[in-house]
Amino acid sequence: MNFDKITDRRGTHCAKWDMMEPLYGVAPDDGLAMWVADTDFEVPEVVSARLREMADHGIYGYANLESDYKAAIQWWMEHRHGWQVDADAIFTTTGLVNGVGLCLDTFTEAGDGIVLFTPVYHAFAKVIRLAGREVVECPMVVQDGRYTMDFAAYDAQMTGREKMVILCSPHNPGGRVWTRDELQAVAAFCKRHDLLLISDEIHHDLVFGGARHIPMSLAAPEISDRLIMLTAPSKTFNFAGLHTGQVILPDEGLRAQFRRRMLAIYLQGNSAGETATIAAYSPEGVAYVEALVPYLDGNRRLFDAAVNAIPGLKSMELQSTYLAWVDFSGTGMSREEFTRRVEQGARIAANHGTTFGSGGESCLRFNLGTQRARVQEACERLTQAFADLQ
């Protein structure tokens, strides 16, 4: 594993590098792609080897991978997260946004309110609105430099039309790893207001600095009859393009409803994604994660030290994810001005905070899942772009 190795992704139909010019006006020749959330790292060799075998075999007919695939997921969840998952609880979707869309479709109705703790991963609001449901924003509060939730305020906000909460655990953006008490408070909130809870745990493997991710299923088993767990190997191992994620339903009743919906649209996993999952959820995959996490930790420390040295900029201390969340409000600049300096001055494509909902207006999100040399380069360019503030 050499995370310093630069593999040129330009011109490979890669969204992150090939779409940054049309979307951000940052040319890929000397620009830095720090937006969409995949990494610039090659997958573990065990995954490449298994996919090469598949390609060499040369036939991609209907597959029968289910039992190996589910066994690999069960092994990973138990081994890495101390969570025992029933094989019958696992459903495969073409990624987790697809999983959220299907849950909205199966468990809610047009006009229902869906609660989001904002700012949060932008695709949630997008699919909620496209499904004809209503986004109910519950803004998080920054306390001691970290996001926290304010349930007294959220209780007062509820109208009775809300049907579901989508929690991001760990949280994107901002990288909070929610404590057991916080998870229990979310669970109690869901019970108080009779809400289903989706816990999207896609970032669960990438946790730093002594924080410990607790699967919601373990933190609050008492709400398993209203709980929908989402997991995927794609962020950890960098194969989001294989579109394979899991909806895990502890409750038999929710399972039966979801199974009917899956059958009705005949949604099935794909053999490349399932093969990659089996390969990744293995001791070789563990070794990859155990090398990746300290590397990402080094990236975030480097980035935070440089960015926080620029007057007016504040990078939130990540407990998880490789997605740095930088607040520019201390500069007093307009959104257009700080964004212009980053895109045109530093030649960096970073996600616009406005897309993450309330609370993101003065922020940009920088993807640090890249080679250390590129993070270093980004630090130098940002320092330069805001040099007049020193």
User: Under the rule (CB under 6 A), what is the footprint of ligand PLP?
Assistant: 37, 95-97, 121, 168, 172, 200, 202, 232, 234, 240, 245
Of the pair 95, 215, the CB lying nearest ligand PLP is at: 95
Measured from the Cβ of residue 270, the count of other Cβ atoms closer than 10 Å reads 16
Q: Whole-angstrom Cα distance, residue 67 to residue 51?
A: 18
Q: What is d(CA 268, CA 285) in angstroms, rounded to the nearest whole number?
A: 24
Of 240 and 272, the one with the shorter C-beta distance to ligand PLP is 240
Judged by beta carbon, residue 118 or residue 172, the one nearer ligand PLP is 172
Q: In the complex, what is the shortest distance from the CB of residue 165 to ligand PLP, in angstroms, rounded to a whole number?
A: 14
Name which of 202, 230, 207, 236 is nearest 217 in CA terms.
230
Pairing of strands 314-315, 245-248: unpaired
Asked if 40 contacts 295 with a C-beta cutoff of 8 angstroms, the reply is no
Nearest in space to 325 (alpha carbons), one of 303, 344, 343: 303
Min. distance of Cβ 156 from ligand PLP in angstroms? 27
Could you tell me which residues come within 8 angstroms of residue 41 by beta carbon, excluding any fewer than 6 positions away? 3, 238, 292, 369
Nearer to ligand PLP, 275 or 331 (CB): 275
**Strand-pair partners of 200:** 168, 230
- Nearer residue to ligand PLP within complex by CB, 90 or 240: 240
**Which residue, 36 or 185, is less far from ligand PLP as judged by CB?**
36
Smallest separation, CB 13 to ligand PLP (Å): 16
Identify the DSSP state of 263. H
Residues 6+ apart with CB under 8 A from 97: 123, 127
Nearer to ligand PLP, 235 or 341 (CB): 235
**Nearest residue (beta carbon) to ligand PLP:** 95
Residues β-bridged to residue 135: 114
Read off φ and ψ for residue 104, nearest 5 degrees. -60, -45
Given its phi and psi angles, is residue 275 left (phi above 0), alpha (psi -120 to 50 degrees) or beta? Answer: alpha
Select 96 or 292, whichever has its Cβ closest to ligand PLP. 96
E strand segments, the chain: 32-34, 90-93, 113-118, 134-139, 141-143, 146-148, 162-168, 196-200, 227-231, 245-248, 314-315, 323-327, 348-352, 363-367
CB of 244 to ligand PLP, least distance (A): 8
> What would the two tokens of residue 382 be?
């940002």
CB closer to ligand PLP out of 44 and 245: 245
Rounded to a whole number of angstroms, the minimum distance from the CB of residue 210 to ligand PLP is 22
Nearest residue (CB) to ligand PLP, 315 versus 331: 315
The amino acid present at 349, given as its one-letter code, is: A
In sequence order, what DSSP letters do the residues of 328-385 get, joined into one string? -GGGT--HHHHHHIIIIIS-EEEEEGGGG-TT-TTEEEEE--S-HHHHHHHHHHHHHH
Opening angle at CA 255, ends 254 and 256, nearest 5: 95
